[in-house]
Structure 1
Amino acid sequence: MKTLTKNLVRTATVLLVLVLTACGSAKKTSDDLITDASQEKAMIEREHPMMAEYFNSAEGYAIFPNVGKGAYIIGGASGNGVVYDNGNLIGYADLKQVDIGLQLGGKAFVEVLFFETEEALQRFKDGSYEVSANASGVILDKGFSEDLEFQDGVAIVTVPKGGAMAGISVGGQRFEYTPIQ
């Protein structure tokens, strides 16, 4: 039993390292990232027209157009994004997620963080920003018509792109912000 546990932990650790290095946006230029984010924003507004109001009325938002997640008990996700303040590009951000639970598979998705207030946006820009495991997010899917719930001035929206993943897990996300020089 001890050998099985040791092998399972070793396999999960190797998988996590591979996921964190391979997931998310491939090495792209900042122009590619901005283009991807713009295209995903347009898709969200086209397929979910009520979201246009959130993009227009939020103090700011961060959009991660290509987040990749993989898991085998221990999971990880990674992606790069762009940050806007009142519709103006102000910087870039990296997303990292680690979670644990009964989970298996891989998926790709778009993630958007809407900042309701200047204070919420400033907390994000101040450095390492974390979203706890108990933060709730909305998954945009066909027929979505609910209002977003802001917690501490932040609402999280994800849009599935592809893949298959099953399971239940607990974890959190960490973001690093880099202003435009």
Structure 2
Amino acid sequence: MTLTRRNLTFGLGATALLSACGNGVGSRGPAMIDARVDATLSQLYSDYPATRDLATKATGMLVMPLVTEVGLGFGGGYGRGALRVGGATVDYYSVAKASGGLQIGGSQYSHVLFFMTEEALSTFRRSPGYAAGANVEYAIPERGETLAAETTTSLAPVIAVIFGQAGLRVGATLEGVKYTRILP
């Protein structure tokens, strides 16, 4: 069997793709994710103090410390995080995003889903893959802006707070988001 340049390129590309698919949960993965979640929550509470009140009212929080998105026509994004109930990690999750349209660039950000009702948290945990839909209220605060939980908690069962944005991604796209439990 001869090894051609095309086969070598394909093999190296497939190896890189498979290595990127590792979910990080294993020997040291959970500890690393938990440490990143703790740091992300510390930053969130420091930058936006009103989110502490939101956290105390929530029945659970899904914390995604770092989500990376890139796009050139078609785009995608990925991140890993933990679901916390009562301050303790109960599960690990990944988020995958796909988008299509006129777009270019890359960005990174953190986000936290606050589950404001027991029903919303239960639905999230029971589903094999949770797609964020119309029942999610998004809050994207700017630096120094206050985030009031009183007006949104009665209206939305899930509140997503997106913060710590870096990078530049521009365009008009249609996007889909899916959260999936990572099994250790």
Question: Shorter chain as normaliser: what TM range?
Answer: 0.7 to 0.9
Q: Structure 1 residues 134 and 71, CA, compared in 2 at 3 Å: closer, same or farther?
A: farther
Q: Structure 1 residues 134 and 105, CA, compared in 2 at 3 Å: closer, same or farther?
A: farther
Q: Structure 1 residues 51 and 152, CA, compared in 2 at 3 Å: closer, same or farther?
A: closer
Q: Residues 8-27 of structure 1: matches in 2 within 5 Å?
A: none
Partner of 1:31: 31
Partner of 2:166: 162
The unaligned stretches of length 5 or more in structure 1 are 1-17
Q: Could you tell me the percent identity over the aligned residues?
A: 24
Answer yes or no: is the 8 Å Cα contact 1:124–1:177 preserved in 2. no
The number of aligned residues is 163
Partner of 2:180: 176
Partner of 1:90: 90
Q: CA deviation at 1:51?
A: 0.8
Q: CA deviation at 1:134?
A: 8.9
Q: Structure 1 residues 139 and 26, CA, compared in 2 at 3 Å: closer, same or farther?
A: farther
Q: CA deviation at 1:57?
A: 1.6
Partner of 2:78: 78
Q: CA deviation at 1:152?
A: 5.2
Q: CA deviation at 1:161?
A: 3.8
Aligned Cα RMSD in Å?
Answer: 2.9
Answer yes or no: is the 8 Å Cα contact 2:93–2:181 preserved in 1. yes
Q: Residues 100-179 of structure 1: matches in 2 within 5 Å?
A: 100-126=100-126, 127-132=128-133, 136-148=137-149, 149=152, 153-178=157-182
Q: Helix, strand or coil for the counterpart of 2:65? A: strand
Deviations 1:83-130 (A, max 9, x none): 011222111011001112221100111011110011101111112110
Moved over 4 A (4+): 25-28, 133-136
The unaligned stretches of length 5 or more in structure 2 are 1-15
Q: Helix, strand or coil for the counterpart of 1:69? A: strand
Answer yes or no: is the 8 Å Cα contact 1:113–1:155 preserved in 2. yes
